[in-house]
Amino acid sequence: MPSLFRRKPEEPEASVAVSEPETSATRKGYTPSKEELGVKTPKRVIAGRRVAEPPAANRKEAVRKMREKQRQERLEAREGMANGEDRFLLARDKGPVRRLVRDIVDSRRTIGTFFFGTTFLVMIVGFNRSLDPSIYIAANALFFVMLLATLVDGFMISRSVKKLVKQRFPDAKDKMGSLYLYAVMRSISFRFIRNPKPQVKIGQPI
C-alpha cells in the first residue's frame, strides 16, 4: 500500500517561453530603411557646386565651331539682303511695294548719281585759292545746275512711283511721302553701292 506520506515526484518545471524582443521588422508601424532594403540613396547635388568643365581642347573646339557658325550666318544674311530676300531685309526695305519702288529707280539712269561727283569737284575748286575767279563762278554754276536737275529728276521718279504703286497696289497702306523719299534717296546713290542690289537692268520695263 503506498504510503500516504511518500513524496510526490517532482513535476517538470513549466518551460518559460522567453519571447525574443521584437525585431525591427516586426514592430508595428515600422518602415524599413533603404539600407535594410538594399537601396542606395543617390548623392545630392550641392547647390553652387561647379559643374565639371570640358577639357580645354574640347572647349576651344566648341568656341571655334560657334564662331564659324556665326560667321556663316552673317554671310548668309548679307547675301540674302543683297539679293532682296524679305527675311533678311531691314524694315524700310521689306514688302512688295518697296521692291517695286527699287525696280523703278534701278531701271533708269538718274541724274542724282552724278550730283555727288559734281559736289566733290566744286569743293576741290573752292579750296584752291590760286585759280582764276571765273573758274569759281563756273563751278558754282555747275553745282546749282546739277542740284536743279537732281530735283527735277526726283520729281519725275516720284510721279512714276505714285502711278505704278496706285496701279499695282491700290490697297497699299504705305505713305506716299515715305515712298517718294525712299525712291529719291536710292536715286542719288551710285548703282554699285545700292543695297539691296538692283534686280533689274537699266531700260528694262517695269
Neighbouring C-beta atoms of residue 3, cutoff 10 Å = 6
Q: Grid coordinates representing 201?
A: 537692268
Neighbouring C-beta atoms of residue 78, cutoff 10 Å = 12
Residues contacting residue 195 through CB under 8 Å, at least 6 positions apart: 81, 82
pLDDT at 60 exceeding the cut of 70 = yes
Alpha-carbon distance of 138 to 121, in angstroms, equals 11
Can you give the pTM of this predicted structure?
0.62
Share of the chain above pLDDT 90, in %: 29
pLDDT at 39 exceeding the cut of 70 = no
Q: What are phi and psi of 33, to 5 degrees?
A: -75, 165
Q: What is the pLDDT of residue 121?
A: 85
pLDDT band with cut points at 50, 70 and 90 for residue 79: confident
Q: Which is higher by pLDDT, 129 or 24?
A: 129
Burial annotation 128-158 (CB, 10 A radius, 16+ → b, else e): eeeeeeeeeeebeeebeebeeebeebbeebb
Alpha-carbon distance of 164 to 157, in angstroms, equals 11
pLDDT band with cut points at 50, 70 and 90 for residue 77: confident
State mean pLDDT over 60-67: 82
Spatial CA neighbour of 101 closest among 171, 152, 175: 175
State mean pLDDT over 133-142: 86
Least confident of 1-15, 59-73, 147-161: 1-15
Helices (H) and strands (E) in the chain, counts: 6, 0
pLDDT at 180 exceeding the cut of 50 = yes
Q: Do residues 110 and 203 touch, judged by C-beta distance below 8 A?
A: no
pLDDT digit string, tens, across residues 118-136 = 888 888 887 877 777 888 8
* Chain Cα centroid distance, residue 164: 34
Q: Which is higher by pLDDT, 14 or 89?
A: 89
pLDDT at 57 exceeding the cut of 80 = no
Q: Work out the mean pLDDT of the chain and round it to a whole number.
A: 78
Q: What is the pLDDT of residue 102?
A: 93
pLDDT at 42 exceeding the cut of 50 = yes
Burial class (CB in 10 A: 0-12, 13-18, 19+), 104: buried
Q: What is the pLDDT of residue 82?
A: 76
pLDDT band with cut points at 50, 70 and 90 for residue 20: very low
Identity at 193, one-letter amino acid code: I
